[in-house]
Every structure is written in structure tokens, then in C-alpha cells.
Structure 1
Amino acid sequence: MPALSLAEWLRSLPDDALADLLRARRDLATPPPANSDVLATRAATPGSVARACENLDNATLAVFETLLVLGADETPVDSARLGELLAVVPPHALDRLRSLALAWGPDDAVSVHAAARDVFGPFPAGLGASSAELAELGPRELEERLAAVGEDERALLTTLSSGPPIGRTRDAAADVPLDSATTPVQKLLARGLLVRRDSQTVELPRQVGLALRDGVAFDEAALTEPELPVATHEQSEVDFAAAGEALEFLRHTETLLRAWSDQPPPVLKSGGLGIRELRRLARDLDLDERRATLLVELVVGAGLVANDEEASPEWVPTTLTDSWLSMPSSGRWLVLAQAWLDLPRMPGLAGSRDARDKTVTPLSEDLRRPLAPVMRRRVLDTLAELSAGTGVTAVDDLVALLAWRAPRKGGRTRDAVVRDTMAEATALGVVALGALTTAGGALLAGDQHGAAAAMADALPKPVDHVLVQADLTVVAPGPLEPDLARQIEAVADVESAGHATMYRVSEASVRRALDSGRTADELHELFRTRSRTPVPQSLSYLIDDVARRHGRLRGGVAAAFLRCDDEVLLSEVLSTQAATELELRRIAPTVVVSPYPLAEVLEALRAAGFAPAAEGPDGRVVDLRPSGRRIPARSRQTRRTEPTRTGPIPEEQLTAVVAHVRAGDKAARSRKGSVVRLPAGGGADTSATMSLLSRAAHEQREVWIGIVDSHGIATQRVLTPVRVGAGMLETATGERYPLHRITSAALVED
């Protein structure tokens, strides 16, 4: 019985199985193959086989390689022979290979692609070619030869048996009798346990390799999925731990946005953020550089910061920053977490060396990896398989498991992606204690509302009070209500942050609050009503003392003016060096003016030791401090989008492709009568073709046609015309074909 070809096997598949194949190997579906022969040819290319192998686990790959060892790429083999070379035959592995069209045929005649040798290399399973000399020996004779080797020879054989089975050596230059051999290579060649390939290359025969592996190509350990050690926690404990990390990350993000609003860092000429700027940010936020890199990548990825694309470009917060800052903590977290999940970049690669041995910088194109979201989700999906509250005890165990499940996926960065994903997810509060959080699970499932609600439940409830202490520190025992937080930050500086935040009130911070338009009475009222501890006299005295000196000098925009009821104080100002630099001029006993902007006048006077305040047209104190730079946020239409080649093929498209293949198969099998071909060249007479198609429509007969589609690809179809006219051929199934694309036609004979 002749071997079954892949095309014949594909034609025998039911439509749903063919659709599953195209769904799993989406490269086979684009463009739609004309028929099963084209589909088989496409599926047998080395590139397509290699892509399909990326989704196979170690056990299935072992079965694939073992089939190659058995020669299934040349002659169909009985699947029962797999048991000869495998310690354990993995269940369903062969079915998995068939579902991907990597293997085909019945159990007693399984075939694989010849292109698989290009994918796995010349030595599948790490075994060399069979030796004709050793093939004539029995197992006992081979064991006797192996037992006679010395320790140095045994060490060499063991090394080669683990693969690859070849080695380069000068000792292979000539044949040396065993009694004259001095090196391990010479002795093994003389015993026939090594084979010379050329003057500098030796190969370990397959029989020897298998003997040293106890007769199997793959042992049981390689064929068994490694266990994943886990620890069980209460889900609430996991969520609480994640909430703490999330709050810390949000605090750092807010600090970064405020800092870059005042002093945006420059964009490197090659793009990205400079290492010096990154280190300064890490130092200011008290973070390591990896965490700082993640932070800057996410604020840009979320659209909160962008390149202003000016002559001297800088990384500047966008208008989205203000809306983000006004969100509740759970909403802020959702923006950053979603941006991370979909980020087509790998922040963990920052700091490594590129092909030119240059340091890879954050925000540079070198970090762009379109498949990063897929790889990130793969790690989280593995955690989602565990029961609620169950987490991995060591990331290295998770690395080993995912490496076993897809050893050919991810390339050199495969293991690093797993470690980076766990570290980044933990920093964001998507993962805690090695387990997926409730909010992280909802985010992974695409439930943004549920994710935000879960994080809101896990975060500590905002508090409406503070604790003022005698040393002028203010302790917030938890996250403050947004309005209270803004008021406290206006009059105090953050000294330390965490679950409880400590602020410090100083003369400078009180002056800052007064500069923003707050009065001393308002500050007294703030601490009196919001402090759960008595307000110390030292704080009250400090506020009154600063307020007494604050605002005695009043500035306005004339270009700028200063007014003061105390003529002596105004004279003191005029006697300073600052007055000369500002070109202050008295225009009345209590008023002086300057040609410089008011902000510059006030800054210079403060530097000279005075405490002036700015006033508006109504005489009230106004805040002239800059609110920070902003640039317009990029619209979704102008943001760079990533290719969607990793997404699933729509079901309608799959159905159409399957129908396309089946139609092509039917056309190829149909018996055609006399074929009417269109003459070459434009303007040819098509009357014969029109007559044949009209006859088929009138008699309701099937007709075979050859057509060229809009991509210039020639295909064949068998159809039943119902109408021919107006430049179109309409079929009984509602399809329409332009007549000018039909190259030939023939009636289908019964």
C-alpha cells in the first residue's frame, strides 16, 4: 500500500478539524490556499514547521524527534516503535502532532515532514547516524566493547552521548591500531565506538549513544512535566499585600510626574532616556534602576508622558496627567496595570548591551518587542491555573515549568521574560506572594471594571485625619482623602512614605502655603479640625510668625510693582543689591515699580531675605508658582499600533478559508470536458466562454473555471452558474466572479 501523502490526508479531514488546524497554524491561512495540495506544500516549509513547534511541549517535541530518528520523514513508521526509544510514550502527543499537520497517517504508518530535519538539525534527539559495523553486533557484544574502555574514554563517550554527537579533534587524522593508540579518540576509533567523518571530525554512532542512555532517546524525566511547588495563602492576604505594593507604585508615579512637570528630562538623540537621568530619578525616588525603568516605561506607555518633539525634545507630561492625578487610587492603578499588560516593550532589557555593545536605554526602540504582551500573559495564565490564593514558592520553578511547556518559544529571552514579568507584576500589585491577585485575575480576563473594584476593596480606606506631633511632624495613618492630601501637601513636605506617611512642617512649607493664597486662619483651622492630637503651640507660633512677615510687601503687574504700608521696610528693600538689579524705582512713599516680570521680582527679593507675596487685581494673595509643563496627549488614532498577527483568526474568515480549500479540491478532482481558454492579450474575443457559461446557466450544469484573483493568484473552481451578464458570473450559492478574471472554462462531465 503506497504511503499516504499529506495532501491526501488533509482532504480526508472533516471541516472542523481543518478549521482547527488553520486556527492553530494561522500562517497557513494567509493568503487562502487554493486547495489541499497548496496547503500541504505550505505546511511542509521549514519556517512554518518551526513556528508550529514553538507551541509544543518537551514531551511532544521528543515524540517528533523520535519519529525522525526512526526515519518517518522517509518511510512511514508504526507508532508502536516509539516505545522502543522512549522511556514512556506521552499520551496524546501523536494526536497533537496530527492536529498541527506535523505528522499524519494511521498509527501503523505515521509520516512527518522532511523539513523537520532542517528545524531540529542533522542530529534529532542528539543521536548520530547508525554504524553499519555496530549494526552487525548484538547487544552483548556492544556492551563488552563499552566495558573494555578506560575512564578517559568513558568520559568522552558520555559527553558526546548527551549531544551533539560530533566532536573536532586532530586525533582523527589517521587510522591507528588499538595497540598503538595513545589518545582516547584513537582508542575509540580503533574499537569502532567512534566513526571518523573527516580528518578533524568524529561522530558517536547511534547504537553507542542509545546504549549510554540505557537504550532510550529520551528518559522519563525529560518526558514528564516538572512539578510546580506552591504555597497556599488566604486570597485576602494576597490582595492586601498587593495593595501595599500598588500604593507605593502610585506614589512613585505621582512624584515622577510632578518632578518632570517642573523639569522635564531631555530625549536622547537616539531616542530614549539617558542613563544619568535614570540614575537621578532612581536616587530621588529611592528606587533601584530596574524599578525606575519600569516606572518611566509605564508613564510613557500609558500616555501620561510623551516626547514633545521640539527642537530640543524633552519627556513632558501630557494633559492626561491632570485627569490621572484626580482619579481615585483604584482608577490610577487600572491605567498603569492595563498599560503594562499591553505594553509591547520589555523594560527588563534596559541596561543590557546591544549588538553594537552599547547600553540599552529606557524608552529606546531597542526595548520594543511586539510579542511581549503575549509572553507576559502566558506567565499570568499559568498563575491563573492555580487555585485562589495559591502562589509559586520560587520563580525559578515557574521558569522551569514554562521552559518545559514551550522550550522553543521565546528564544534567548524566554527565561528572562518570566522573571521580569513576575517582578513587574509584583511591583504593580498584579501578583503578590507568588499568586495572582483578585484584581490581577480580573485584569487578565479583560474585566476592567472588576479589576478596579477589586483593587478598591483591597486598598486601605482613605482616612480623614492626621496626627500632629510636637516636633512639627504630621503623620497620616493611612492614605488620605484626596482633598485632605492636597491641603496637607500644600503646607508640609513628605519626609517618609509607606502605609503611614510622615510630613514635616517648616517655615518654607508654611510660606509656600501662604503664597498659594491660603491664610494663617485657614491653616490653623486645617490642623485644628483634622488633627486627632492636640495642635502643639510650636506649630501655631510658626504659622503666626511666618504669616506676620508674609505679604507685608505686595507685588502687582505694572510691569511689576511693590507696595508696602511700612515706608522703612520699603526703603530697606531699595538699599539692597537686588533693588539695583531689578531696577526698582519709588513712585510713591509706599510704592515702587520694576520693568521685570513680577515672578522674577518676588524670587529675587525672597533670595535677599524678604518675604513678599503676589496680589491680584482685587488685592488678594495669588499663587504665581508654575503648575508644570503639559503637552497635548496623543490621540488613539495617532499612537503607534502593533501588528495583530498574534490574535485569533475570526471564525467567519476560517469558514471562508475552509470553503475555499474544499472548492479548490473539488475543482481539481472534477472531470472536465473540452476546455475553452481565453486567448492571450487584451481585447480577446470571449464569445466562446460566454456561450459555454450561458449554456451551463440555462441547463443548471456544473462548470469548471480557472480564475485569477485580485492578488494575481490563479485558482480553480467548480460552480453552478445562474446568471451571466453585466460583466459578472453569479452562482447558485450567491458568489459573484468578474468575467474579466476568468481565464478558462469547461463543463464538468458526469
Structure 2
Amino acid sequence: MSSTTLTDWLRARDDEALVAMLRARPDLATPRPSDTAVLATRAATRASVARAAEGLDTFTLAVLDALLTAGADRAPVPLGVVDLDGRVDQAVDTLRGLLLAWGDDDAISLVPAAREAGGLFPAGLGRSAPGLVDADVPALLAEIGDDERKVLTTLAHGQPVGRTKDAAQVLPLEQARTPVQRLLARGLLLRVDADTVELPREIGLALRPGLVEPSMRTTVHKVSTVDATAAGETLEVLRHMETLLRLWSDDPPPTLKSGGLGVRDLRKIAKAADITDRQATVLVELAFGASLVAESDAGEWVPTNHADVWLSASPANRWATLAAAWLDLPRLPGLAGLRDAKDKLLAPLSDDLRRPVAPLERARVLAVPADLKPGTAVASADELAALLAWRAPRRGGRLRDEIVRWAMAEATSLGILALGALSGPGRALLDEGAAAAAKRMAEAMPDPVDHVLVQADLTVVAPGPLEPHLAGQIAEVADVESAGSATVYRVSETSIRRALDVGRTAGDLHELFRVRSRTPIPQSLTYLIDDVARRHGRLRGGSTTSFLRCDDPALIAEVAAHPAAASLRLRKIAPTVLISPLPLLEVLDELRAAGFAPAAEGTDGQVVDLRPSGRRVETPTRAARRPIGVRAADPDQLADIVHTMRAGDRAAESRRSRPVSPTGANLAEVMDLLKEAIETGRSVWVGLVDAHGVATQRVLKPLRMGGGVVEGHDPTGTDLHRLPIHRINTAALVED
């Protein structure tokens, strides 16, 4: 038979089993339990039990429900009472590993909170309907329509009760108009009150999901095809991100008063990048998660300094940064555009989209294709959602299946998935990290080309991804007309003027196309470049920070000829005017040091005082938000927790079974007792409270004391412990 209590059963487990239990339920290890009695109490709390039950699959939940029906939460139940198949033993082992159940194979007990965590309807079944006990339920279900079956199926897959306005009274079948009214008339639904109906147990059993994991169709592709497709998606998302950063660099959008990005600004991004609003939402959330954009003090979304570093990196490294940021992003971009319980529209980049469990949900979705052979693809996101729903039916809430679809779509747009299969770079990202993934993506990407094809219609075709330097040159003189495996640019008067504006000459542009084009240069392009260059720059403008003026041209000439003029970058624009790009105060100070006596004047020509009024500091850069990651438990730390619990158990056992002389929290008495134990070689039972307020107990054989610390060994171990004396609140000598 099973042990009397959960505490006794836990004490009989070996250390490896306890470590595995703490790894399966990490919430039990925080704060550190002082002994197994504390662990048992914590394991039986309702919130912790409900959290553990979220990870159970449909079959294990069925075993749990069967044990509850048999009363295992009140008294031990022999496994023979549960009439299922041979998988019961494995399911019970899972329940024991999660500390939801305990006991030997001949009798199993459940923690009492298991019934509360299961809700009001064990096994998800309602009450029995007398008229259906001996009825042919499949035949009755065959007579109903699709709309009626949909109502029953919905109740069978969730709670067996539902609210409706059609339950006011049970009408005869010939008078029933709605599906609910017809089901009530047939006796396939039970009326609870005027607003509530209940699915009978017999109907729920006939329609409930099977206890066998649903199959999922797969297809097989060549690994090279999957990786090439992923590389193509990667080039697209990098191009869209560059568009976003360029757009927000020139025109940062404002932050909404309630936080986030407005619909108009989101659609502006979608139009500029030629993507959907949904894709634009993922793009901005990704930029935020990768710290490429941040909210400024002025209330605008602006690219960060990290964006410049990202833009200068190789395409593969840029992709790895985005992909890793998506995996750890504690937000759900798919929520954007939906409405909350108060009918408020959820905006991108707002706190409403924050979901700390999002990284864990993405990991669950990607784990399925990761378990398949390379090149093997999931045939349907819906089938994957059904599989994950079977594996964890209590997880995810009402958006459970939608989260799966969102994750699949987002992973595909990032090249982590391609054609439904996990790409090579995606697998490297999950198994080895961003650095290895970047290397694998670099191998999957097509080699950059060093040439273009200039067409007679003034288009320039890039037959593949261009070398970074060439891509920058072409982007200066042409606009993207269509993107893909072969990008098409168009040269226009506006694009040529843009290149001339950044300092290129007509000769530079002619040389660029002559050297880089594999096709002859059309005469129309040559004429267009020369015509725009001939008209460019005839009217010029410039900017300056300070000026010097004097009615005496000779003094201006003297200043311009002085050696200080070179360091001040003074330039004469008129016989009596010099200009400089440096601040006026700096110009005046250096000229005064050179022996001149200049004065500063305001916009009205009057002399002004430019001496600084006080010290100034640069505005500090705001720290980028870091994503929340899912951290695995440290095995060494868990082993140490088990060791501490064992010590607490021994301390408690020693206190119960041996005569002791308890001492209160008086520090002098504690030190006297410790000194006596050291002199006589006896063990001491001590209770102390650590810096976090957690109480622990242990048996210690003290060796020495000094500096406010007592050192000693565990009587059954060799580890040396150092305990602060001021934290000991109870102590007792243990009789050997």
C-alpha cells in the first residue's frame, strides 16, 4: 500500500527523483523549501497544481479525472479501479513526477487540490440524462443537423454548460426554431435555468476527443529546397526592416497617448514596404524586440544607435539578430488589431501586447517540426494546433489555436520555417544559438553578385543579391520597382538627382554602369544622366554655424590669412564676410587668443554676452529593453536544494526523537550553547532565517566559531557549512 502521507512518500524518494520533480515543477523550489514537509505542503496548493496540470496531455488528464471520480483525492485507490488501457502506468508515473499523485503501484492518492484545479466538472462531463442512459446515442446524433452538431461539439470540447437566450422554455420539436431549442426538444441538451443549458454526460462521452494522440500529415522536401526558400524569405524581411528604419529615421511616428503605434502610421509602413498590415505589425514588434527602435523622450518611435550597427552587419548576422529576438520576444504581435474586454483596440508596440509566456508558446510550436527529420514539413497549421491542443488542452486559453497559427506564420516570414519544415538555419538557432544559425544562413543564402543588367527601358536588373557596396551604389541612383530573387530597379530623373545630391558626378554614374553592367548601356540612360547633371547645382545653398563681418575689408583679409583661420575653417563669401561651421563662442575665443578683439552680435545687430551660464551634460542614452527569456533550472542548484531539504528532515527528526534543550533567540545563550557543543563534540539542531526571510533548520556538528560565524559539518555529510550566528533564532543540543 502507499505511504500514509505525501511527506512520508517524498522522504522515501532518492535524491535524483526529487531533483526531477523540482525540475518538472520549478515553482516549488522558490523560495527554497526547508524540508520535504514544506515541499509537500507547497506541492498541494491549488495555484501550483493548476499550473502543473496545464502541461498534461489529454490522456493523462483523463487518467487524472478517472482517479478523481474514484475518490483518490480522499483515500488511496487501487489502479484496477481505473478501467483504461496499458498506458495508465505511464500516465500515473507522469502524475507522480509532477507531485500531483503519490503512492505505490497498488494504491494511488491525489493531492486534494487536484479536484479544485479540475473545475466543477471532472472529466469535463455534465450530469447524466435519464432518457439517454439506455438510448442509442450514435443513432440520435445521426439525426441532427450540422448547426446542432456544432453546438454539441463546442460544449463537448470545453465546459459542458453554456449560456443562451433560447433556454427560457423547452418547446415541442415542431415549434423549435434555433439549434439550441431543437436540441432541448430532442433531449440532447438539459435545461439548467432560463439562461443556461448543460450537455448530458452520455452526449459528452460520444463526442469528446479521443484518448489517442491525433495524427498529423507531413510532407517531405529536399533540405536544400527548404533552406533556399528560407533564405529568400530572409532577404525579404531584411529589406522590409531596412525600409522601416529608413522611414522612421526621416519621419519618426508619434507614440499614442495610450501607448503604442497608431493605425495610420502602421499602414504607412505597410504601403512603403508593400506588405499587409499584419506583416507590418510583426515587423515593428520585431524591430522593438531587437532594440532597433525605441521610444524617445519626445514621444516618438526612433531608430536606436544599435540600428546602425545592425545595418552595417552581414545579411546572415542581421537575420540571426532578428530571429533570436523573435524567439525571446515577450509579446504577441497577433493580438494587434483585436479588442480587449472593454472593446479597446489593441495597438502595436503597446503594453497590451505583452505576454511573458509568449517565448514558451513559440518553443512549443517549433518543437514539433524540430522533432521531425530535416526536410519534413507539417502539412497544416490547423493540424499542428489540434496536436498541441491534445498534448496540453488546458494551456493557452481562448487564443490557444490562434497562437499556433501566428507562430507558424511569423516563423515562416523569418525563414525559421520554410514550406512547413524547420530550415537548417532555424534548427541551428534552436539547438546551438544565434552564432551557429548565422553561419548556416550564410551558407544557405545565394552568393552575392557583382554585376547588374541595364535594360533599354531604364530598368536595372540585379540577378541576385548584390554585393553590399554595389547595392549601396545602385540604391543611390535607382529605386526598387520589384523585389524578389531578381530585384528590378528603375532609373529616373529623381533618382539621378538623388545620387548627384550626395556628391556623385555624372562621370561617376557613367563609370558605375559601364563597369558593373553586363549589358550595353542604352543611349537614353547616358543622355538622361548628362541632362540632369547639366542642370544640377546651378543654384546652391549651404549651412553655417557662425559668421564674422567687418566694414573694413583689410581686417577681414588679415583674419583670413591668419594661421587660426585654418583651424576655425573660415571661408570668405564676400569681401567683408567670413563664415565657419564651428560655434561662434569657439571662434571668438580662438581669435581673441590670436590677438584680435571680436564681439558677438544678436539678430538685431546688438552686442550680446555668450558666456555660458552653467555646466551642461549630454543627455544619457536610454537603455534598450531586453526580452524576457525562459531559463532552464540549474541541476546543481536543484541538487543543493534537495541536500538542504534532507538536512532539514534530519534536523526535524532529531528534534522529535531525541531529548534536546531548546534555546531562544538570545544571542548570548546561542553562543554559549555553540561553545559547549564545540568543546564536547556534540551536534546542534539550529533554526535560522536567511537574508530573504526564509526559515530553515539543520543539524550541525560545530567545529569552530568566530567573527560572527560558526563552522561545522553535517553529521551525515562532509560539506563544511558556515552559518551567521546572528541569523540563528533557535538552537538545541542533540543527544547522541
Q: TM-score range by the shorter chain?
A: 0.7 to 0.9
Encode CA deviations 1:372-414: one digit per residue, 9 max, x unaligned.
1121122112111000100011111111111111112222232
Q: 2:120 aligns with which of 99, 119, 122?
A: 122
Give the equivalent residue in structure 2 for 1:718: 699
Query: Which segments of 5 or more consecutive residues in structure 2 lack a partner in the other structure?
Result: 171-181, 548-572, 582-617, 714-718
Give the equivalent residue in structure 1 for 2:535: 549
- Partners of 1:675 and 1:744 within 8 A in 2: no
Q: 2:712 aligns with which of 727, 731, 742?
A: 731
Q: 2:638 aligns with which of 645, 650, 654?
A: 654
Change (3 A) 1:593 1:524: farther
Q: CA deviation at 1:542?
A: 1.6
Q: CA deviation at 1:461?
A: 1.4
**2:648 pairs with 1:667:** no
Higher deviation after alignment, 91-100 or 410-419: 410-419
Change (3 A) 1:667 1:196: farther
**2:625 pairs with 1:640:** yes
Matches for 1:587-602 after TM superposition, within 5 Å: none
SS at match of 2:682: coil
Matches for 1:444-455 after TM superposition, within 5 Å: 444-455=430-441
CA distance in 2, matches of 1:708, 1:54: 34
Change (3 A) 1:2 1:348: closer
Give the equivalent residue in structure 2 for 1:324: 310
CA distance in 1, matches of 2:489, 2:186: 79
CA distance in 2, matches of 1:515, 1:433: 44
Give the equivalent residue in structure 1 for 2:80: 80
Give the equivalent residue in structure 2 for 1:61: 61
Q: CA deviation at 1:200?
A: 10
- Partners of 2:453 and 2:460 within 8 A in 1: yes
Give the equivalent residue in structure 1 for 2:232: 244
Query: Between the two proteins, what is the percent identity of the paired residues?
Result: 55
Give the equivalent residue in structure 2 for 1:627: none
Give the equivalent residue in structure 1 for 2:559: none
Change (3 A) 1:359 1:593: farther
Change (3 A) 1:434 1:123: same
Give the equivalent residue in structure 2 for 1:609: none
Matched residue type, 1:728: V
Matched residue type, 2:115: R
- Partners of 2:219 and 2:378 within 8 A in 1: yes
Q: 2:255 aligns with which of 267, 270, 280?
A: 267
Q: 2:425 aligns with which of 430, 439, 462?
A: 439
Change (3 A) 1:238 1:414: same
**2:514 pairs with 1:521:** no
Give the equivalent residue in structure 2 for 1:100: 98
Give the equivalent residue in structure 2 for 1:406: 392
Change (3 A) 1:593 1:358: farther
CA distance in 2, matches of 1:412, 1:376: 17
SS at match of 1:686: helix
SS at match of 1:34: coil
- Partners of 1:723 and 1:729 within 8 A in 2: yes
Q: 1:498 aligns with which of 484, 490, 501?
A: 484
- Partners of 2:330 and 2:358 within 8 A in 1: yes
Encode CA deviations 1:231-265: one digit per residue, 9 max, x unaligned.
00000000111111111111111122112211111
Give the equivalent residue in structure 2 for 1:226: 214
Encode CA deviations 1:633-685: one digit per residue, 9 max, x unaligned.
967xx3334566x4222223212211121111112222232423227xxxx57
- Partners of 1:10 and 1:36 within 8 A in 2: yes
- Partners of 1:90 and 1:223 within 8 A in 2: no
Change (3 A) 1:736 1:322: closer
Q: CA deviation at 1:426?
A: 0.8
Encode CA deviations 1:438-492: one digit per residue, 9 max, x unaligned.
1111111233232112211222211111111222221111111111122222222
Give the equivalent residue in structure 2 for 1:388: 374
- Partners of 2:231 and 2:445 within 8 A in 1: yes
SS at match of 2:451: coil
Let me know the Cα RMSD of the aligned residues: 3.8
- Partners of 2:2 and 2:108 within 8 A in 1: no
Q: CA deviation at 1:76?
A: 0.7
Q: CA deviation at 1:326?
A: 2.3
Matches for 1:103-502 after TM superposition, within 5 Å: 103-127=101-125, 146=135, 162=156, 209=201, 213=205, 222-310=210-298, 313-502=299-488
Q: CA deviation at 1:632?
A: 9.6
Q: CA deviation at 1:287?
A: 0.9
Change (3 A) 1:465 1:685: closer
CA distance in 1, matches of 2:309, 2:37: 57
Higher deviation after alignment, 545-554 or 344-353: 545-554
CA distance in 2, matches of 1:196, 1:742: 63
CA distance in 2, matches of 1:87, 1:209: 21
What TM-score, normalized to structure 2? 0.79
Query: Which segments of 5 or more consecutive residues in structure 1 lack a partner in the other structure?
Result: 135-141, 173-182, 562-586, 598-630
Matched residue type, 2:335: L
Change (3 A) 1:187 1:250: closer
Give the equivalent residue in structure 2 for 1:616: none
Give the equivalent residue in structure 1 for 2:51: 51
Matched residue type, 1:696: A
Matched residue type, 1:274: G
